[in-house]
Amino acid sequence: MKIYDLELSGHAHRARLFANLLGLEYNLIPVDLLNGAHKQPEYLAKNPFGQVPALEDGDVTVYDSNAILVYLASKYDSDRTWLPVSPELAAQVQVWLSKAANELHHGPATARLITVFGAGYDPDVTIQKANALLNIMNEHLQNRTWFVGNNPTIADIALYSYTAHAPEGGVNLAHYPNIVNWLQKVEGLPGFIAMPTTETDAKKALAA
């Protein structure tokens, strides 16, 4: 199994984190986005959208981080706890996968793109979007350990990386105690691996 990866990408971190939690053996293949390797024909043959991550599992290639989570859970989690078979719980997982691809991406992830990668977005708008989502997430986690059901699911994995690294984009998690407790639960899972942190000016300001 190969995971085409960028170390500081939260999307790529989802894939390698979940593979690690499942105890799978995989090789990380770094993709040099800075020099445009993701737009070269060789990589576009694996992921026509030119993004990371992509996963190769034998003859199967999967791209899109959430699709990779679904694939790995469906194939390698025999107990089906990570992706429940219950229609109600499966639908709830899908809700949060959608939020990870939309609100989380346009809020905390984009705020971090500004400070870490110099992306040209409006920081005030993205931080406002981030806090709107985090308020909902924090309320959802009131009296809950996990986002769906009584066990961790791929919903938690999809939401984790960019939420944990929101302070790098100037988003203060101290206002969201339920989220902070949930992050600690994820980090306590056997096989957890962290995404490298970056010291941004926004993060330093929040810590001051």
pTM beyond 0.85: yes
* pLDDT tens figures, 112-156: 989 887 888 898 999 999 999 999 999 999 999 999 999 999 999
Tokens 């899109």 identify what position? Answer: 64
* pLDDT tens figures, 55-97: 999 999 999 999 999 999 999 998 899 999 999 999 999 999 9
- All domains of the chain in start order, with CATH: 2-76 (3.40.30.10), 87-207 (1.20.1050.10)
